[in-house]
Structure 1
Amino acid sequence: MDVRRAAERYPGGDEAAGITSRHAFSFGPHYDPDNLRFGAMIACNEERLAPGAGFDEHPHSHTEIVTWVVEGELTHRDSTGHETRVGPGDVQRLSSAGGVRHVERNDAEAPLTFLQTWLAPLTPGGDPSYEIVHGIADSTPYAVPEAGAMLHVRRLGLGERTAVPDGAFVYVHVARGEVRLDGEELAAGDAARIIGAKDVEAVALSAAELLVWEMADRL
């Protein structure tokens, strides 16, 4: 298990424009050949947008993009005609496939924090697609078959426990609160990368929200 702390993330964004970004993997000008990906995951970005701030229209291709809002509300528009608002508890997926353009903004009056995960598809190309699940239930898995991945959301009260799925590649991100994971204490923004996960358990040291990615061995 490899624990990466929130403070170790690569800084990015444009604070003058109200955008603060923290990248878990090599991204933009921050290149680390030993930190390019983990399983199917090629990016895990924490984004903070001030009211009125956002990312203007930009392209993506050959990437499965999954967004989780921690606080606030995200406005999404894309070139396939979708326009939605994403709030806490919603899972949004944009399959960029052969190519798509989108806009992401904070059009609300409160600050926005969201986590965005990029996954490499099993097969590049194809037609882009979009999906949003509003208010996903606790412990309900969300499958991204295009990338051989599954997202598990865990919401825990103080002292509650949850099993981490066994898997070839498992990525655990603490969205809120604090947990103890296999003897390691993790706080909000911290993450653990586990290879060959088996019989791993998380215990909440406070009310907590975990995003757990289970990814197949395909490398």
Structure 2
Amino acid sequence: MLVIRRAAERYHADHGWLNSNFSFSFADYYDPAQMGFRALRVINEDYVAPAQGFGKHPHRDMEILTYVLEGAVKHEDTTGASETLTPGELQHMSAGSGVRHSEMNPSETETLHLLQIWLVPNALGIQPKYEQQRFKVQDEPNKLHLLASKDAREGSFKIYSDAELLAATVEKGSSVTHDFKGGYGWLQVARGSVTVQGHALKAGDGVAITAEKTLQISSDEGGEVLLFDLD
């Protein structure tokens, strides 16, 4: 079963320097029917104005992933990490027992466009950590790349959550297929457009997937997707 959450159905918040679209309840947006899906708690699409960003603030007991689509983000946190993240890279932070961090747009001219993802952890109070890595999602299209998993296989990040994150760039006229471990998943269209089980989806659309063994993702025009395999 597929339940589609269209891009236009998301909550939109405009703070001037920040434009955000929330797939699930977040900050001032509360909808008891949209509290996440399985371990996926937050997936926000953010547009951050030049030289603006999220000042240092605290988190704990959450697995946080950042996927940059355009521009760059300057990250600093209390683990000592100070890095700049660009498209093609994924950032992972285990907030664990507590961490403070900032995420800023270092450009004076370019807007930062990113997906912010929170996963509910399966272990509490762990030591905070930060890591980032470049993956070949754009360099090797028509293939699902494993970005994060519980066992760090295939060079993916080790995360403390009952979830795996995969991503693919699907070229025009091509497709990819995924076999779910437990039958639950969430698909987020990051760019372009794709077709899933006969449903046409565009950038910003999300799909909750239940009791599906296999998912085929195809595209007539080209698209990029994030796929969560959820226990």
Q: How would you bin the TM-score normalised by the shorter chain?
A: over 0.9
Query: Hey, what does 2:168 align to over in structure 1?
Result: 154
Q: Which runs of 5+ in 2 are unaligned?
A: 151-159
Over 4 Å off, 4+ runs: none
| 1:90-136 deviation line (CA, Å, top 9, x unaligned) | 11100000110100111113111000110000121111011111234
Alpha-carbon RMSD: 1.3
Once the two structures are superposed, residues 22-58 of structure 1 have per-residue CA deviations (whole angstroms, 9 ceiling, x without a partner) of: 1110112211112112010111011101111101111
Q: Matched residues in 2 for 1:200 and 1:156: separation?
A: 14
SS in 1 for 2:183: strand
Pair 1:127 & 2:148 matched = no
TM-score normalised to structure 1 length: 0.93
Question: Which residue in the other structure is 2:65 paired with?
Answer: 66
The answer to whether the aligner puts 1:209 opposite 2:210 as a matched pair is no
Alpha-carbon separation, structure 1, partners of 2:125 and 2:22: 25
Structure 2 residue aligned with 1:182: 197
Kindly indicate whether the alpha-carbon contact (under 8 Å) linking 1:179 and 1:187 is maintained by their aligned counterparts in 2: yes
Match of 2:50 in 1: 51
What's the TM-score once normalised by structure 2's chain length?
0.89
User: Which whole-Å CA distance do the structure 1 matches of 2:135 and 2:215 have between them?
Assistant: 27
Moved more, 3-12 or 113-122: 3-12
Check whether the contact 1:38–1:169 (CA below 8 A) recurs between aligned residues.
no
Contact kept? 1:91, 1:136, Cα under 8 Å: no
- Deviation string 1:2-32 (CA, Å, 9 cap, x unpaired) is 10111111122512xx111111101122111
In 2: Cα distance, 1:101 partner to 1:169 partner: 32
* Paired residue total: 214
Matched-pair contact (CA < 8 Å) for 1:174–1:188: yes
Take 1:181 and 1:114, find their aligned partners in 2: how far apart are those partners?
23
Amino acid at match of 1:3: I
2: CA distance, partners of 1:13 / 1:60: 23
Q: Secondary structure at the match of 2:38?
A: coil
Q: Deviations over 1:141-199 (max 9, x none)?
A: 12242102111111111110111332432111111100111111100111111012222
The gaps in structure 1 that reach 5 residues or longer are none
* Higher deviation after alignment, 137-146 or 18-27: 137-146
